[in-house]
Structure 1
Amino acid sequence: MDVHRKIEGLNPETAAQAHKRDLEVQDKYGVNYMHYWFSEKDGTVFCLSEAPNAEAAAAVHKEAHGMLPDEIHEVKSD
């Protein structure tokens, strides 16, 4: 799960477009971006992905739209 904080000018439409670009690039890095959540109130985006490592997840964002995460957390589900 990665977190992007206070991205200037981000709104629901541009967040959706950024996620779409992630999906277009992800296979190149062996990543699967599964879902994202956007808080318009504070400009925070949370992205859930399956990735071989944090660097691969960040590389997708860098190539797709340049909005690198502020944090990346490894999370697991039961």
Structure 2
Amino acid sequence: MPRPEDVEASKQVRKEIARRPLDTSLMNVRVSHGVVYLTGTVKSMRGHNVDAKQEMDMFARVLRQRPGIRDVVLDLTFRG
């Protein structure tokens, strides 16, 4: 059973990623012992001139500064 802290962190990650101009419908979020794992496929949303990889790298840096988040692992495929 996941730790309550990990469940809450997962909810926060999903909430924050939804605010970004990215299609993350094929991305999975998992948090285990404070480590965030983002896997799957990410692409820029239509009408937004955003580099998906650069956006996710920046997002990972922001997450690493959050209390309770020990690390962020990106295992993502980026599509244009």
TM-score of the pair, normalised by structure 2: 0.47
* Larger relative contact order, structure 1 or 2 (CA cutoff 8 Å, min sep 6): 1
TM-score of the pair, normalised by structure 1: 0.47
The structure with the largest alpha-carbon Rg is: 2
